[in-house]
Structure 1
Amino acid sequence: MSRPEPFFREAGAGPGVVCLHSNASHSGQWRELMDRLAPDFHVLAPDGYDAGKSPAWPADQPMCLDDEVALLEPVLARAGSPLVLVGHSYGAAVALTAALRHPGRVRALAVYEPTLFSLLEQEAPAPNDADGIRHAVTAAGEALDRDDTDSAARHFIDYWMGPGSWAATPAPRKPAMAESVRQVRRWGDALFNEPTPLAAFRTLDVPVLYMVGERSPTSARGVARLLCATLPQVQPLTFADLGHMGPITHAEPVNAAIARFLAGL
């Protein structure tokens, strides 16, 4: 069986930078950042499984973050070594996993709220800081069992962006987002059951820009609390007025911070 190939966007020339998108999104979320970095960097932004133009994950198999990393291999190879990984949410969790799996290949990371909820589960059993997203995933999954993709998307999007966010989403954008949320249980399984222990991140001795929105849910800030106390070369950055979807809703300040970080490497 041939290895699946991801779709990816590409721009610029220079040191490699690979940008990984969040759930219910695709590589297009990084267009503005790619334009900003292209004069100085070779920037690639792939679509993950079931996102954008990349292949679907086989529905009858469980998936883990290592599978997402494996899908990215052609993109990582094209970026060259050592490269920089940029990630948001689920994509940031994949970026950290990729950096651990490929020591020496990644020279730095810029991550916005990686959703490694397994670290919260390892710290303490439920009830814990992951309760909110756990309940949202459960509610979204139950809605999908009723084939109610609209309610599933509402549970998921409103958790991350606040009550009423799904209702306020422009109608043309809703169908693709609702369809992507069909993967919510798979995302939850991968993030809650990731076996990597917190201590493993002490070995990730490269510069890490760790961005957090002050208005983000407890689950994202809980993961940040753990990782920022563990990563050896972490540079925490909090955006006072942003939430979890900051790289999409307020791309300019987030992209500017990433560009400054890369310029200083």
Structure 2
Amino acid sequence: MNTMVTAAIDERPVLPAVPFHREAGSGPGVVCIHCNASSSSQWRPLMDRLAPRHRVLAPDTHGAGRGPAWPTDRPLTLHDEVALLEPVFERAGAPFALVGHSYGAAVALLAALKQPERVHALVLYEPTLFALVDAASPAPNAADGIRETVARAAAALAAGHRAAAAEAFIDYWMGVGAWAAKPESQRSAIEAAIVNVQGWGGALLGETTPLAAFRALDMPVLLMQGSETTTSARAVSNLLARTLPRGETQTFRGVGHMGPITHPAVVDTAIADFLRRHPAPPGGPVIARTMRSLCSN
């Protein structure tokens, strides 16, 4: 497959940063948002899989790949990520499907909530919206593991040890020894990204959108998780599974939080099957939802 790499141009002065994104295929739009310490490149296998039937766009978020740097004058929020990706959403056309992994899945949730009428299907692999856990049960709670990991990584950064910060973060998500097993080519990219670890934690733990708000997402949602994931990620998924009105869950045995990267064949198959079962409505999202409403009355 020939993958076209492009950057959408946003002429509005409020968003000077132009999001870099990869693009492939033709057909109904699918936008894929990557996890922390990763980039749009993680979606290459899925792009290959979907390109014959879909126009697939995979952007880089702040501080990732060729995305814009994080702001230094204020904390970055998940809503800033949604705003950054707006030109990519526009390029995907409406209605489009939205796919997200981890941090990217948290961004996808808020993007869908902002304009639900243009997202016809939502695919989430372990969205890390840890603020939902804190809101449901004040600390100490299931989010303590990621809170402590962010604190350890931040302390290592403050001491000038990027590798130690990256090791704390990667080993938390992938298991002890995962960092040591990574090739040097991957380590350098992760070390460059890990400087934003406190920002990631702040955005995910500080988000104020209440869990009940996601009941408004009246579109098919595939909520995926690995059986070997962390307690913090599982807690978020469990809360969303009980809240999303049209959600279906799928658990991959023997797979962890990084499933879309470590086990792309099995995860991408599930995504492709879900999108095949829930295609973009030919009449547009408003007409489709009106028809659902009429049929339910």
TM-score range, shorter chain: over 0.9
Query: Which residue of structure 2 aligns with residue 210 of structure 1?
Result: 223
Q: CA deviation at 1:173?
A: 1.3
Query: Which residue of structure 2 aligns with residue 262 of structure 1?
Result: 275
Q: Distance in 1 between matches of 2:212 and 2:71?
A: 32
Q: 1:127 aligns with which of 128, 136, 140?
A: 140
Query: Which residue of structure 2 aligns with residue 38 of structure 1?
Result: 51
Query: Which residue of structure 1 aligns with residue 103 of structure 2?
Result: 90
Provide the aligned C-alpha RMSD in A.
Answer: 0.7
Deviations 1:185-213 (A, max 9, x none): 00000000100000001111110000010
Q: Distance in 1 between matches of 2:101 and 2:150?
A: 19
Q: Distance in 2 between matches of 1:241 and 1:109?
A: 24
Q: CA deviation at 1:3?
A: 2.3
Q: CA deviation at 1:60?
A: 2.4
- Give matches, 1:69-80, under 5 Å: 69-80=82-93
Q: CA deviation at 1:55?
A: 1.0
Query: Which residue of structure 1 aligns with residue 213 of structure 2?
Result: 200
- Give matches, 1:10-89, under 5 Å: 10-89=23-102
Q: What amino acid does structure 1 have at the position aligned with 2:135?
A: Q
Moved more, 55-64 or 26-35: 55-64
Q: Distance in 2 between matches of 1:39 and 1:103?
A: 26
Deviations 1:130-161 (A, max 9, x none): 01000000000010001100110011000000
Residue 104 of structure 1 aligns to a residue whose secondary structure is: helix
Q: CA deviation at 1:240?
A: 0.9
Query: Which residue of structure 2 aligns with residue 172 of structure 1?
Result: 185
Query: Which residue of structure 2 aligns with residue 113 of structure 1?
Result: 126
Q: Distance in 2 between matches of 1:248 and 1:59?
A: 30
Residue 73 of structure 2 aligns to a residue whose secondary structure is: coil
* TM-score (norm. length: structure 1): 0.99
Residue 195 of structure 1 aligns to a residue whose secondary structure is: coil
Deviations 1:24-73 (A, max 9, x none): 00000000100110010010000001111111022221111000000001
Moved more, 187-196 or 2-11: 2-11
Q: Distance in 2 between matches of 1:182 and 1:218?
A: 24
Deviations 1:156-190 (A, max 9, x none): 00000001111111112111111101100000000
Q: Which of the two has higher C-alpha Rg?
A: 2
Residue 105 of structure 2 aligns to a residue whose secondary structure is: helix
How much identity, in percent, do the aligned residues show?
A: 58
Q: 2:254 aligns with which of 234, 238, 241?
A: 241
Q: 2:168 aligns with which of 141, 145, 155?
A: 155
- Give matches, 1:182-201, under 5 Å: 182-201=195-214
Q: CA deviation at 1:103?
A: 2.0
Q: What amino acid does structure 2 have at the position aligned with 1:23?
A: N
Query: Which residue of structure 2 aligns with residue 4 of structure 1?
Result: 17
Residue 116 of structure 2 aligns to a residue whose secondary structure is: coil
Q: Distance in 1 between matches of 2:226 and 2:40?
A: 21
Residue 223 of structure 2 aligns to a residue whose secondary structure is: strand
Q: What amino acid does structure 2 have at the position aligned with 1:258?
A: I
Residue 31 of structure 2 aligns to a residue whose secondary structure is: strand
Q: What amino acid does structure 1 have at the position aligned with 2:100?
A: G
Residue 222 of structure 2 aligns to a residue whose secondary structure is: strand
Q: Name segments (4+ residues, structure 1) moved above 2 Å.
A: none
Q: What amino acid does structure 1 have at the position aligned with 2:31?
A: V
- Structure 2, unmatched stretches of 5+, are 1-12, 279-297
* TM-score (norm. length: structure 2): 0.88
